[in-house]
Amino acid sequence: MTTANDAGPDAGDDAVRDNPFLPGELALFLDRKGRAYLQTLTEGEEFHCHLGFIPHEEVIGQPVGGWYTTSRGHVLLGIRPTLGDYVRLMPRGPQVIYAKDLGNIVSMADIFPGATVVEAGLGSGALTTGLLRAVGPAGRVVSYEINGEVVAKAKSNVESVVSDTSRWSVKVGDIAEGIAEADVDRVVLDLPEPWRILDAAADALHTGGILLCFLPTVLQVHELVMALQDDGRYARIETAETMLRGWNVTRRSVRPAHRMVAHSGFITTAVRCVPPGRQGYALNP
Ligand SMILES: C[S@@+](CC[C@H](N)C(=O)[O-])C[C@H]1O[C@@H](n2cnc3c(N)ncnc32)[C@H](O)[C@@H]1O
């Protein structure tokens, strides 16, 4: 399946510049109020909303970025969803990581093309999609999930936006009981008690590897950071959160959006180090 990032236009070729919607891919329709509707384009099906309907055949083969008229005469913009759009609108079970945090998780954990990343829990698979994109075709992502019931929906979500999932594997079980992978570059944890995973993560990470934990409350962050400081195998322990505020820009006024998702969670990172012994020093007293 093609998404906005996979199918960029080729400036040298008119046919490619038209950039048509393909059968089976995701389309995002936006009405004049900015409301978004996600559809998988399938021959013989119709997109219905309160503004009327559009047969998918009228969209397949037509340009991404084109204007599509519903049966009731309303005009919608049709584009490919970004990963952030998909995460916002996808079917979900457990709480997902939103786009505002996805980008900073990738940069603060320094997830690079070719990296081997272990994550837990899989949840709805939102974070997994971002990790798979960041590690690229030469990388690998292994997702641990304690609740086997969420795996099918997560797989379907991930496969909707990542065309090649051959470098991804899912393991059902408690990651605290151990990480089978060795020499791992990054461990990314989005689960309630990451301090229970410090042994498993330290065993799996090579020295210099990075552990990143996403937590919604300050009490959890405090417990985690105290455990990291006491552990001795982690250094450069840092915590941050992301606040992203939209702005409304019109010809006559430029002002901040009335509403913003200020808090979603805290990101704590730590580097797996050689235990300091006599030479080392406390980076986080
Ligand atoms: C907040 S959700 C993760 C959401 C996911 N990162 C996403 O973006 O869709 C937390 C998940 O961690 C799982 N989990 C909790 N403790 C776990 C453990 N010890 N090992 C593996 N998975 C665990 C839960 O079952 C749940 O699905």
Q: What confidence category does residue 92 fall into, taking pLDDT thresholds of 50, 70 and 90?
A: confident
On whether the CB atoms of residues 154 and 128 are closer than 8 A, the answer is: yes
CATH of the domain at 132: 3.40.50.150
In a domain, 9, yes or no: no
Distance 27 CA to ligand 1 centre (A): 29
Choose which residue among 87, 105, 122, 156 to substitute to test ligand 1 binding: the one with the highest number of ligand atoms within 8 A of its C-beta.
122
Q: Which of 63, 81, 99 is the last residue of a domain?
A: 81
* Same domain, residue pair 96 and 75: no
Q: How buried is residue 54: exposed, middle or buried, by Cβ count under 10 Å (0-12/13-18/19+)?
A: buried
Q: pLDDT by residue (tens digit) across 6-49? A: 444 444 455 546 789 999 999 999 999 989 999 999 999 999 99
- Beta carbon of 174 within 6 Å of any ligand 1 atom: yes
Element (H, E) at 161: helix 151-161
Q: pLDDT tens digits for 158-167?
A: 999 898 999 9
Q: Which domain holds residue 210?
A: 85-272
- 104 and 142 part of one domain: yes
**Total domains in the fold of the chain:** 2
Residue 213 falls inside a structural domain: yes
- Residue 225 has φ and ψ, to the nearest 5°, of -65, -40
The answer to whether residues 150 and 51 belong to one domain is no
pLDDT at position 11 is 44
> In whole angstroms, what is the distance from residue 168 CA to residue 152 CA?
14
Tens of pLDDT, residue by residue over 44-58, are 999 999 999 999 999
Task: Assess if residue 2 is contained within a domain.
Answer: no
Three-state SS for 207?
Answer: strand
CATH number of the domain to which 56 belongs:
3.10.330.20
Within a domain: 280: no
Q: Is the residue at 5 inside a domain?
A: no
Could you tell me the pTM of the whole model? Answer: 0.86
| Pair 103, 93: CB distance under 8 Å | no
pLDDT value for 4: 47
Same domain, 42 and 96: no
- Residue pointed to by tokens 């408690």: 174
